[in-house]
Each structure stands twice: as C-alpha cells, then as structure tokens.
C-alpha cells in the first residue's frame, strides 16, 4: 500500500485545476461561496485549506478526487484530513479502534487486509466499448462488437453477469461507435466523442469521474469466466494487470490475429511487470498474455490519473512508447511507461478462463465451443 507522496500542495492543485477547467478566480469563488480574496490566499498558500463543505464543492467543480483534496487539506492544516476528523468527532468509538490497531502494532500488510475486507463491497467496474470493431467486418456493420450474440446473450451481458456474480453492481461503460445500440439499465454511460481518432488509453479517461476507489477496467471484446473476476479482486496491489500464462495454445491456427499481435508480458520473480505490449516472441521469452483487464486500488487510481495528465502534456501529438502519437496509445503503452519510471505493476496470474473476440475467425471459434468452459484450444 505504501505511504502517500504528494508532489503538490492544496493551493497549487486548486489553482492548476481551476485554470485547466476554465474558471476565473472570482467566478470560482462565487460558485463555492467564498470571497475572491480568500480563494486567492488559499491558492498562494497564505491560508490553510477551507472547511469540508467548500472542499466538496471544489472537488465537484474542479473534478478532483475528494480523498486527494481531503488528504492535502489535512497536510495544509498540520492535521488529519478534515473528513476523517469530522467522522472521528461524530463516532468516538473510532478512536478506540485506532488505539487497538496501535496497541496491537499491526504492520502495513495487516492494515491493508482490514482495509480490503471493508472495501470488498465497494468494488467497481469500467468497460471500454468505444471502438469500431472493424476486423469483425459484417458482424459489426450495425453493432458495437460487445453486442455480438453468444448463446442468446450479448458479449456485454456476459461480462456484466461475471461482474455481478462477484458482487460488483457499480458498473460504468464508455460508448462510441453505434452508442445508441448499448442501452442496458443500471449502467453509468460515458461518451467517447472522438473514438475514430483516439485509442484505448485516451478512451478510458472519458470516464475519469468514476476512476477512484477499487476499480476493475476491462476491454469490451473479451469473454471471461466469473472466476477471472474473483481472482482479480483478490489482488491487494495498487496496480494489477491480469496475465494468462496458458496462452500459446490459443494462437495455434489463429491466422487473422497472429501471435505477433499479442499483448505479452514479461514479469520478474515477484510477479512484477518488466515488459508489456507487443513483444518479439522470437527474440524474448515471454511469460504470458495480458488479457485486457486491470485492477486499481484507490491509490492506484491516483497514480494513474496523475501520470496520464502529466504525460498527456508532454506527448500530445508526439510519439509515445510504441504508439505514433499519445492519442493512439494503447493501455499497455501507458503501463510500460509506468514501469519504466519505477512504478510497480503486479501480475495477477490466471490459466485460461477467457477468450478475445477480435476477428471473424475468433467469433466463429468462440461460437463453436461456447457451451464449453472458456478453455483455450
């Protein structure tokens, strides 16, 4: 889990986010109910952070994670985060719980287990479903590929079923191509309005509003068993990628999506990513295939968002990792960049239990063996 490291102060992040979102100082001050001079003092760090009611308004208007703002507010006041302080004041028994943790000298791993146990019913999922699916030809002329039929249920419905079997009810989806065809109830929808010109990485951030807490992010063109989700949820790491080590058999006879196009992974003895993406399997011994699913903890989402926006400023319209431009980057390009700068990315290891539906050939094969377990043959 690790100690949080903040590179920006409360005032600095408010100022930068205000400018980014197009607010003048006086305009924002009016919206949050404070004087412009007061907001100016906060931005210049002449005052400590405001009260919780104002922090909530700032979080909503400036699209900043509320937990991040509260933590920074606590630092600015030399105290605990204000939301935590208020909760402790209204729930005195929390003090005894904290004291028990201290007296039992629980280490970081033990505290993390308690945290994950408390958060197990707060898991979320985000599905990326904006792409054209052009390699499926006639099958996706009038449908997004996640709406293809498999045994009377769409690919998307089967994903939803796998998530719900694992208690995940808070599900969001990014639409783009033929968006009107995806209209399930109980899902939060986000629109990728530029899906023809961007790729998976940038598509994810059209739903930045929900990228917080414990969240699984998955491609929409994969069939996966509910056991894959269960395995994914077991990870306690900040950033986890799901890797199938029983992957090579799936490429036997697969002509339209050859092994050279696989998103492979090389990991070390601690199951931490060293390389990810399209790796030359003739020159390097890869350990598995990335299935198109990641899990982030709350801290993981903060890392993800911080570095996405940092890299976007540097690489927009420029080459980025294996992509011609940042706009065309894959998720694996971003993960490789995180690894390159020293951020640990953990591998959750699985052996089969999923299938990618990328081409007409994939679709036909999946239909033939659909009533069987999703084992690779």
pLDDT of residue 79: 73
pLDDT of residue 377: 42
Residues of the chain under the 50 pLDDT cut:
1-5, 373, 375-377
20-66 pLDDT per residue, tens: 999 999 999 999 999 999 999 999 989 888 888 999 999 989 988 88
pLDDT of residue 1: 43
pLDDT of residue 376: 47
Residue 345 burial (CB < 10 Å; 0-12/13-18/19+)?
buried
269-282 pLDDT per residue, tens: 999 999 999 987 77
Please give the structure tokens belonging to residue 72. Answer: 């920074």
CA distances from 11 to 7, 247, 361 (A): 12, 49, 55
| Residue closest to 305 by CA, chosen among 68, 15, 10 | 68
pLDDT of residue 334: 98
In the chain the domains, ranked by start, together with CATH numbers, are 10-100 (1.10.260.40), 125-368 (3.90.550.10)
Q: Are 147 and 182 in contact, with CB atoms under 8 Å apart?
A: yes
pLDDT of residue 84: 79
Distance between CA 348 and CA 228 in Å, rounded?
A: 10
**Residue whose pair of structure tokens reads 């507010």 in the numeric block:** 73
pLDDT of residue 306: 92
pLDDT of residue 7: 59
Q: Are 281 and 232 in contact, with CB atoms under 8 Å apart?
A: no
Distance between CA 206 and CA 124 in Å, rounded?
A: 16
């Amino acid at each position: 889990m690790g100690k949080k490291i903040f590179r920006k102060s409360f005032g600095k992040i408010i100022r930068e986010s205000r400018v980014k979102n197009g607010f003048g100082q006086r305009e924002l001050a009016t919206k949050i109910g404070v004087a412009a001079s007061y907001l100016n003092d906060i931005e210049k760090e002449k005052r400590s952070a405001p009260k919780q009611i104002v922090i909530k308004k700032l979080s909503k208007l400036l699209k900043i994670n509320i937990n991040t703002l509260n933590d920074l507010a606590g630092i600015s006041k030399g105290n605990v985060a204000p939301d935590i302080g208020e909760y402790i004041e209204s729930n005195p028994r929390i003090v005894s719980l904290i004291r028990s943790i201290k007296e039992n000298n629980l280490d970081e791993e033990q505290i993390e287990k308690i945290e994950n146990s408390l958060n197990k019913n707060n898991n979320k999922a985000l599905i990326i479903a904006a792409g054209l699916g052009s390699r499926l030809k006639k099958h996706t002329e009038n449908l997004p590929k996640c709406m293809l039929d498999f045994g009377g249920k769409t690919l998307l419905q089967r994903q939803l079923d796998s998530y719900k079997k694992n208690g995940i009810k808070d599900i969001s989806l990014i639409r783009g191509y033929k968006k009107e065809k995806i209209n399930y109830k109980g899902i939060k929808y986000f629109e990728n309005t530029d899906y023809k010109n961007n790729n998976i990485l940038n598509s994810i951030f059209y739903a930045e509003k929900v990228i917080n807490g414990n969240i699984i992010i998955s491609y929409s063109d994969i069939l996966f068993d509910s056991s894959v989700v269960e395995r994914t949820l077991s990870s306690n790491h900040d950033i986890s990628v799901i890797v199938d080590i029983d992957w090579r058999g799936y490429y036997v006879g697969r002509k339209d999506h050859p092994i050279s196009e696989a998103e492979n992974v090389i990991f070390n003895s601690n199951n931490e990513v060293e390389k990810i993406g399209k790796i030359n399997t003739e020159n390097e011994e890869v350990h598995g295939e990335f299935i198109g699913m990641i899990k982030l903890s709350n801290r993981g989402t903060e890392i993800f968002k911080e570095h996405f926006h940092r890299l976007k400023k540097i690489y927009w319209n420029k080459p980025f990792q294996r992509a011609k431009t940042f706009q065309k980057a894959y998720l694996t390009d971003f993960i490789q960049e995180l690894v390159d700068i020293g951020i640990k990315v953990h591998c959750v290891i699985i052996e089969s239990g999923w299938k990618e539906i990328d081409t007409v050939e994939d679709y036909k094969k999946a239909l033939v063996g659909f009533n069987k377990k999703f084992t690779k043959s």
